[in-house]
């Protein structure tokens, strides 16, 4: 199978970026797709920035070079701006429009930019798919499934089957939350 896709997942500590990348990574392994991954999450437990690099079909290093990602999956609007330089010129931004407060932007005394301005800025250079994944997570049954909503949205670009991704979700979330997480995935997938 000749597949190549570079994906950056960005968010804020506590949003589930690591679980999102683990779901995608496990699906890739089960599909037989070579994968390299790297994650940084220094102060994530305090709401700091989290970024994960996932390289499908890559035989080189695990870090995606600047302007090399095919997809930027942003769990938080300001994090989409922070990591936009990761994305190639023809890459796509998939972003949650619900900000997390407090965020590192506000710690310096700056006001959080209007989400419409963030989306508008990103759309000047890239294709942007922006929706309120936090609201969809609530619709699915729990706010903590927002990351799985985002995996569902990204699944439209991933080389693995929907069924395989759902099987990985079922195996990686607590058993009592399986149905909610599957609903979250489906709601995210429908956003494309």
Task: Say which CATH number the domain at 55 has.
Answer: 3.40.920.10
Backbone dihedral region of 57: left (phi > 0), alpha (psi from -120 to 50 degrees) or beta?
left
Q: 106, 96, 93, 49: which is closest to 76 by C-alpha? A: 96
- Is the pTM for the entire model greater than 0.95? no
- Tell me the helix, strand and coil percentages in the chain, rounded to 5: 45, 20, 35
Total domain count, the chain = 1
Token code pair at residue 22? 């683990």
Q: Which domain does 142 fall in, by range?
A: 5-189
Return d(Cα 57, Cα 18) in angstroms, integer.
20
Per-residue pLDDT of the chain (192 residues; tens, 9 = 90+): 568 999 999 999 889 999 999 999 999 999 999 999 998 765 555 567 899 999 999 888 899 999 999 999 999 999 999 999 999 999 999 999 999 874 544 455 678 889 999 999 999 999 999 999 999 999 999 999 999 999 999 999 999 999 999 999 999 999 999 999 999 999 999 998
How far is residue 154 from each of residues 8, 9, 40, 105, measured CA to CA in Å? 11, 10, 20, 26
């Amino acid at each position: 199978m000749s597949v190549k896709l570079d994906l950056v997942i960005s968010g804020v500590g506590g949003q589930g970026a690591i679980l999102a990348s683990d779901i995608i990574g496990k699906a890739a392994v089960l599909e037989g797709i070579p994968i390299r991954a790297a994650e940084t999450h220094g102060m994530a437990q305090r709401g700091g920035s989290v970024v994960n690099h996932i390289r499908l079909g890559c035989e080189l290093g695990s870090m995606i070079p600047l302007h090399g990602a095919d997809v930027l999956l942003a769990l938080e609007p300001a994090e989409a701006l922070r990591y936009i330089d990761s994305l190639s010129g023809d890459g796509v931004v998939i972003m949650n429009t619900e900000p997390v407060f407090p965020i590192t932007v506000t710690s310096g005394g700056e006001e959080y930019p209007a989400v419409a301005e963030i989306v508008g800025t990103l759309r000047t250079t890239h294709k942007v798919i922006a929706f309120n994944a936090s609201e969809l997570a609530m619709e699915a049954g729990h706010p903590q499934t927002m990351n799985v909503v985002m995996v569902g949205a990204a699944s439209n670009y991933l080389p693995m089957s929907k069924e395989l991704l759902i099987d990985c979700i079922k195996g990686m979330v607590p058993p009592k939350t399986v149905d909610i997480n599957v609903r979250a995935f489906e709601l995210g997938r429908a956003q494309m």
